[in-house]
Amino acid sequence: MNAIEVRDVRKTYRRYGRRKSFGTLKSAILTGRVARDLKADDAFEALKGVSFDVPTGKTLGIVGRNGSGKSTMLKLIAGIGRPTSGDVKVHGRVSALIELGAGFHPEISGRDNVFINGMMLGLSKREVASRFDEIVAFAELEEFIDEPVKTYSSGMYMRLGFSVAINVDPDVLLVDEVLAVGDEAFTHKCLDKFADFRRRGRTVLLVTHSLDMVTRFCDEALWLDHGLVRAQGDPRRVVDAYLLDVAAAENRALHRNPAVSVASTTEQPEDMMKAVEGRWGSREAEIASVEFVRSDGVAAHVFESGEPLAIRIGVRAHHPLNDFVFGVALFSAEGVCCYGTNTDIEGAEPHEFTGEAEVGFVIDSLCLVAGTYTVDVAVHRRNGVPYDYHRSLYTIRVTSRVNETGIVRPPHRWTFSGGIRISGL
């Protein structure tokens, strides 16, 4: 038995110009399709034929980038709006946590608002009355329930909205990114409530950007991409596939504006440390290209923490040089220098540099936590006078399976002895 059945659903939003002619009023009323009869300037297909089922009692997580059609799908399932074509079937009472406290009136008391909101969500007055204490207790608003809602803080407002919606006790619960409603303790209560829901065999549909929630709570995941289903199935696998795709897209985006094209031949700044971004130097020697290469030899911009990273620097000397130093530095997004070195510091003695050449800087294991880093690349004299200095012109992204904090991720392992039993490390 399926609680939700979605069959080849399409949804097209039409955008039309400012001129709305009254000449179409009659036909608009007769056909009931105002939006379709007006000449559309532009159509936007939010969903392009989506089909899936959610079996009763299962929790489905929908992931996808912004604008992939997740919220549209949720609204269609909630019955707010109809698909342009296709069918949506839902069995049982639906409650949608899309916008919490959407119907609250600021001037009247929390008590009155609970009743009206509950009735808007489909409860009878008696049903609200019998659940009233539970709703107020869950929202932790016993003291304030007779105050006008306009005196509530935004957290109190959201908690009350959440509490009413969840206590409608629906057969199918639709959740759209609303778990950030309160402090940690309240979030835990909400998660407990969801768990309780699942135990009682209710169906939950979760739209979220928190992939962690999807892998932890969902029986199944659905990945929407540009209005189409890209994958459906085991949450771990769908989320991994999604993450891989996001990384690939970021790679493309970073690659598309290679910073070398920034032909900013700015003057050397007064204070090197304050320089944010730019390129300067005498250009007796030039950095012609910079590439970041993965272990498989493919140029990339996204690297997994702990993997090897090679920086390939194409250089050219316009006349033979015997005083030269190659340097590289990595900066975190906050501008903290994570690591910097050059051939001179490391004791290298320059002899000759003529014509075109390539410099490789190979890191066997990229010991950085997940984040975005900028890279400085330079060639200069031993006294520091630059030939060609590229400050923060390159960006790489480091990803990691775990979310540690800090900057550096030293290679490490845990050991335990005695009465400790731990698995998963």
Partner 1 sequence: MGARDRPRRPAHSRLLHSLRQLLRHRALVQSLVARELKARYRGSTLGLLWSFINPLLLLSIYTFVFTTVMPGARSAGIEAGGVPFSLFLFCGLLPWTWFSASLLESSNSLIAGGNLIRKVLFPAEVLPIVSVFAGLVHFCLGLPILAAFFVYYRVPVPLTDLAWFPLIVLEQLLLTLGFALMVSALTVHFRDLRDLLTNGLTLAFFLTPIIYPLSQAPAWARPFLNLNPFTTLAVSYQEVLAIPGPFLGWPRLLIFAVVSVVVFVAGYFVFDRLRDTLAEEV
Q: Kindly report the backbone phi and psi dihedral angles of residue 342, in degrees, each rounded to the nearest multiple of 5, phi listed first.
A: -150, 170
Instruction: Determine, following the binding rule CB under 8 A, whether residue 103 of this chain makes contact with partner 1.
Output: yes
DSSP 243-263: HHHHHHHHHHHHHHS-GGG--
Residue 311 makes contact with partner 1 by CB under 8 A = no
Max distance between CA atoms of the chain, in angstroms, equals 91
* Binding span for partner 1 by CB under 8 A among 55-63, 97-105, 318-326, 372-380: 97-105
Task: Work out how close the CB of 120 gets to partner 1 at its nearest, in angstroms, rounded to a whole number.
Answer: 5
Q: Residue 37: is it exposed, middle or buried by C-beta count within 10 angstroms (0-12/13-18/19+)? A: middle
Nearer to partner 1, 81 or 335 (CB): 81
Of 93, 198, 226, 294, the one binding partner 1 by CB under 8 A: 93
CB of 75 closer than 8 Å to CB of 98 = yes
Closer Cβ to partner 1, 101 or 235, answer by number: 101
Rule CB under 8 A: say whether 229 interacts with partner 1: no
Q: Which pairs count as long-range contacts for 228-234, CB under 8 Å and 24+ apart, including other chains?
A: 228/48, 228/49, 228/50, 229/50, 229/51, 229/52, 230/64, 232/52
Question: By C-beta, is 145 or 377 nearer to partner 1?
Answer: 145
Distance CA 182, CA 195 (A): 18
Q: Decide whether 15 or 237 has the Cβ nearer to partner 1.
A: 15
Task: For residue 360, give every residue at least 6 positions away whose Cβ sits within 8 Å of its Cβ, in sequence order, or none.
Answer: 310, 311, 312, 313
- Least Å distance between CB 92 and partner 1? 9
Under the binding rule (CB under 8 A), the answer on residue 20 touching partner 1 is yes
47 touching partner 1, by CB under 8 A? no
Asked whether position 82 contacts partner 1 by CB under 8 A, the answer is yes
* Cα angle, residue 391 at apex, residues 386 and 394 outer, rounded to 5°: 130
Q: Are strands 203-207 and 59-63 parallel, antiparallel or unpaired?
A: parallel
Residue closer to partner 1, measured from CB, 116 or 247 = 116
Q: Contact region for partner 1 (CB under 8 A) — 25-33, 289-297, 305-313, 381-389? A: 25-33
Q: Does 98 bind partner 1 (CB under 8 A)?
A: yes
Number of residues that bind partner 1 (CB under 8 A): 39
Positive or negative: CA dihedral 246, 212, 395, 298 = negative
* Residue bearing tokens 């000759």: 352
**Is 79 a residue that touches partner 1 (CB under 8 A)?**
yes
- Of 19, 26, 32, 412, the one binding partner 1 (CB under 8 A) is 32
Of residues 112-151, those binding partner 1 (CB under 8 A)? 112, 115-116, 119-122, 124-125, 148
Instruction: Please give the structure tokens belonging to residue 343.
Output: 């051939």
Candidates 84, 157, 95, 86; CA nearest to 121 is 95
- List the one residue from 6, 9, 90, 285 that touches partner 1 (CB under 8 A): 90
Q: Which residues bind partner 1 (CB under 8 A)?
A: 13, 20, 22, 25, 28-35, 75, 78-82, 90, 93-94, 96, 98-99, 102-103, 105, 107-108, 112, 115-116, 119-122, 124-125, 148
